[in-house]
Chains A and B, each alone.
Chain A
């Protein structure tokens, strides 16, 4: 039933038990997946507002565009690999006899750590080149937006580390299937966010 149909029913006319195994209107998903969906929307709002602020601020006369380090392309590759490994882990966890699940899941996290390290290297190279945080708003936005994206990845890595420990201590795939799935969705989301941020930073 669509949302509009839900909102149009006359509850004073409908008596008796309505709905089956789950309450009518509830998503056919575990609560954790629904919560993650909400969180992804919240994170999207945060990144969108930073991006809007970026565009408004760049209209002002003191803006000096920053030429982004070429290393960002390499870093982007690392994050893509991270997402690919997570997807691989997700597929493996869904199969009857999972193969290479630990390799795929832990590999995904390791590539994400390498991505963060790569981002820190771009910060160092910018600093070495005299592009300090306070010298121009374009620089400040670069540090701020890449930093915020990395913080979101670190949050994901905390969940990843907990699930990894469970996997390494012998947990079965079905026990961590949901966690792997949610990590994968989160990583894909952060990849998309990074691609948008990168496009914005590189084209302005």
Chain B
């Protein structure tokens, strides 16, 4: 029987062929178009989130200098910034954007396994964003309960957006989860079932591994948020008391009775902690591939990198209560979660070592994607180390709800993944657009962003040690916080505005280069992985022309001794592979072996 690659079986018949402009670019079923749509919507929400952060930073740095920033607006801006950045920006961009673009190309497939459902996913995501943004325009405005939406505060009269704002937020989250589930089923099944011939799981680039495991986490963690959102909607709209305890508000008892706010916290963080890794794991994968390609070396310890991704994914489900040390939990409970938190640092640290060792003696090409990737190693180590502080109960208690926490999680899951996003966008820009970006502007963008991010977050650690609390509209006067803390806050705000404006360089660069950038040659970075081996640049609908590729090797054959070029693409057969030139081969410098 003739071999029919699985990804081609019935695919030729089923592949959707657009008949007009609308089907090609609007209601498209092509994973690449959907990826761009997902990414564009996510970036739009990210710009909204960034703008909100500048506004509330203005209040913190220069209190009451802007008329319309009253306490209500401040809390609404902080809340929406947090939720938008974590869920609607980072999750959507990594999974919906990069997941959609990379998985079929890196797996040698023509498209996702369920293209129609993929299209439904992006449109459902858009609906969730519209519902979320609608809360800015309803009476009372969006919710200002903090991004964790803790009850009973969410529903109390004094909280901005306690009526329509919170309802729209919860509905939007539920719709987002439906979109993520439709997308996630596609990503997971495509990776498992639609790889091309010869592409074993252990030959997959780490990008696919990171996105695959993050997708599985999303599929199993988002239900916790859905359950919490449904019960809170019942409490808010129908008057039940799942989470709402007996509360007296302005002297009047509310109708609620006996609910458990702690139950909400457990459900929220059972989602919330894996969510950190839903963002981090794709970033780990993407940065591994960028580092390896631009260091011209195979990724160090590939197997250990895969194991670490899987281990982190599993462990991320048993650390959630380290976000709740101050909730009055039993000390043994705290001890358990402190232990699991420290354990998860082990595979994470292994990954950091392996990134550094990938650079060791590499033929490093310091271009813009590499700048961002190396910058990520710095910020991630920094944010990761402060995580070890906060993972310990006795250290977390005094630091809880201070700027130290803000500094920690922004370094580890704000700045770090965003640096990877920039690295990845610059790295794969030639593939997506067929053009090169402006290298000098990209490097300038890196330095302004990287140094600016440190100017924002490094002082925040110090503010945290001083005991400056997060979420306060104004600091006021205290005995323990010196007045100079306010000066530091002003400096942070100036740096934040500086970094926000610097992002214009990025947008200008990618938009200008779409038309004016130098035409990209095929596989401009000399990458071994499959996505660069398509017959067309950018790849056309169906990706692979007549025949699907066949894979003969892993994705990291860089600087193979004796090879004519310093990379061998995954679809190069052994017969074409150059043999080792034993006369000039120095085994001491053999970079082709990557035993762990």
Contacts from A to B (Cβ < 8 Å): 6-12, 14-27, 29, 31, 34-35, 38-39, 41-42, 45-46, 49-50, 53, 56-57, 60-63, 133-134, 137, 140, 144, 148
CA–CA, A31 and B303, complex, Å:
27
CA–CA, A26 and B234, complex, Å:
42
The distance from the CB of A26 to the nearest CB of chain B, in whole angstroms, is 5
| A-B interface, 9 closest residue pairs, ranked by CB to CB distance from nearest | A62-B258, A23-B195, A11-B554, A140-B240, A24-B200, A134-B239, A45-B223, A46-B223, A49-B227
Contacts from B to A (Cβ < 8 Å): 3-4, 6, 113-114, 181, 184-185, 188-189, 192-203, 219-220, 223-224, 226-227, 230-231, 234, 238-242, 255, 257-260, 263, 266-267, 270, 298, 302-303, 306-307, 310, 550-554, 556-557, 573-574, 577, 592-595
The distance from the CB of A46 to the nearest CB of chain B, in whole angstroms, is 4
Chain B residues lying within 8 Å of A31, measured Cβ to Cβ, are 113-114, 189, 193-194
Chain A residues lying within 8 Å of B239, measured Cβ to Cβ, are 133-134
Choose one: B202, B219, B230, B574; the contact of A15 (CB below 8 Å): B574
Chain A residues lying within 8 Å of B557, measured Cβ to Cβ, are 12
The distance from the CB of A20 to the nearest CB of chain B, in whole angstroms, is 8
Chain A residues lying within 8 Å of B223, measured Cβ to Cβ, are 42, 45-46, 49
Chain A residues lying within 8 Å of B226, measured Cβ to Cβ, are 46
CA–CA, A86 and B10, complex, Å:
27
The distance from the CB of B531 to the nearest CB of chain A, in whole angstroms, is 17
Give the most central of A23, A45, A57: most B CB within 10 Å. Answer: A23
Chain A residues lying within 8 Å of B240, measured Cβ to Cβ, are 133-134, 137, 140
B255 and A134: CB pair below 8 A? yes
Assess A17 versus B267: contact at CB under 8 Å? Given A6-B200, A38-B189, A57-B242: no
CA–CA, A49 and B202, complex, Å:
34
A134 and B219: CB pair below 8 A? no
B181 and A12: CB pair below 8 A? no
21 CB < 8 A contacts A-B: A6-B200, A7-B303, A10-B303, A11-B203, A12-B554, A12-B556, A17-B550, A23-B196, A26-B6, A26-B192, A34-B189, A41-B220, A53-B267, A56-B263, A57-B259, A57-B260, A62-B258, A133-B234, A137-B241, A140-B241, A144-B230
Assess A53 versus B227: contact at CB under 8 Å? Given A26-B6, A34-B193: yes
The distance from the CB of A22 to the nearest CB of chain B, in whole angstroms, is 5
Closest to A61 in B: B258
A21 and B552: CB pair below 8 A? no
Chain A residues lying within 8 Å of B270, measured Cβ to Cβ, are 49
The distance from the CB of B488 to the nearest CB of chain A, in whole angstroms, is 42
A18 and B200: CB pair below 8 A? yes
Instruction: Contacts A7-B307, A12-B298, A57-B263 known; list 20 others, CB within 8 Å.
Output: A6-B200, A7-B201, A11-B200, A12-B593, A14-B554, A19-B197, A23-B200, A25-B192, A26-B195, A27-B192, A31-B114, A31-B193, A35-B189, A39-B185, A45-B220, A45-B224, A53-B242, A60-B260, A134-B238, A134-B255
B185 and A137: CB pair below 8 A? no
A15 and B260: CB pair below 8 A? no
A12 and B592: CB pair below 8 A? yes
CA–CA, A140 and B258, complex, Å:
13
A7 and B310: CB pair below 8 A? yes
The distance from the CB of A44 to the nearest CB of chain B, in whole angstroms, is 9
CA–CA, A9 and B4, complex, Å:
26
Chain B residues lying within 8 Å of A19, measured Cβ to Cβ, are 197-198, 200
The distance from the CB of A35 to the nearest CB of chain B, in whole angstroms, is 5
CA–CA, A8 and B200, complex, Å:
12
CA–CA, A8 and B203, complex, Å:
12
B198 and A17: CB pair below 8 A? yes
The distance from the CB of A53 to the nearest CB of chain B, in whole angstroms, is 6
CA–CA, A14 and B553, complex, Å:
7
B181 and A42: CB pair below 8 A? yes
Closest to B6 in A: A22
Choose one: A12, A23, A38, A56; the contact of B199 (CB below 8 Å): A23
